[in-house]
Amino acid sequence: MRPYAFAGGAAVVTGAASGIGAALATALAGRGSNLVLLDRDAERLAGVADAVRADHPGLAVDTYVADLSDDAELTRVTAELAADHPEITLLVNNAGVALGGRFDQVTLDEFDWVMAVNFRSVVRLTHALLPALKAHRGSHLVNVSSVFGIMAPAGQAAYSASKFAVRGFSEAVRHELAENGVGVTVVHPGGIRTRIAETARTGSGVSQEEWEQGQKQFTKLLTMDPATAAAQIIEAVERRRPRLLIGWSAKVPDALVRLMPGSYWKLIARSARSPRSAR
């Protein structure tokens, strides 16, 4: 498959108001791609779009505001995107949310909220825009999973379930679309400095003390600049890489899971309890 051609193409990016999504919008525009940006945060999304328009006045930049956890809004926006943008050559399913708490500390509604945004929206958007991608041989699909789509920590049952689902879905669709000349990349970011910790929800059964401790630990992991992650994703798309691990915090767990598929958590938990790890 030939390298993906950014110039003159049209890219849909979800979760585009901040973090990796906003960085991708900037990077894609720098490569000459027209943009279709989607997020639930209208104000932040407008800021990203206005900045891109100012820097690249020759490009088309359209925005759509929708809450992907709402089934009616998801149905509406997928139909609008499919009707308005048959020229799409790149879809980046980047939007994601997090939920802290053991499985017995979260409600089924809370669990379903994570699955709706992190997995169902990926499926629905891909299904709606697949005819456009297939109509343009050489198109590409990017689905953002997580390091928690490789390993499944305690307290992240919902998030890990959604991200493992994205991984499996992406691999199957990659095999199906090969004959159509459409590439598929599944991305596993490690600790990227995004707003996901800030916007994360906490299970109804989680105590205030547990919540505060979890927030601190989660935030400490988020160290990489989103622009660095976006640059790696752009390179992976261009080179048609099927899988991308971003950062040591994704690469090390990936290696650990390969070596100890049934017992890696024992090692991680033991390390977390050691005095040295607490420094």
Can you name the residues that pair with 188 across neighbouring β-strands?
Answer: 245
Give DSSP secondary structure letters for 221-249: H--B-HHHHHHHHHHHHHTT-SEEEESHH
CB 151 within 8 A of CB 256: yes
- Read off the DSSP letter of residue 140: E
The Cα 132–Cα 56 span in angstroms is 25
Place of tokens 């802290």: 100
> Cα 114 from chain centroid?
13
The Cα 33–Cα 186 span in angstroms is 20
Q: What does the radius of gyration of the chain's CA atoms come to, in whole angstroms?
A: 19
Nearest by Cα to 5 from 189, 125, 227, 181: 181
- Among residues 4, 64, 159, 264, which one is catalytic? 159
Structure tokens at 80: 């609008």
159 annotated active-site: yes
The Cα 43–Cα 62 span in angstroms is 14
Nearest by Cα to 146 from 161, 136, 131: 161
The Cα 62–Cα 175 span in angstroms is 31
Give DSSP secondary structure letters for 189-218: E-SB-SSHHHH-EE-TT--HHHHHHHHHHH
Q: Which residues are catalytic?
A: 159
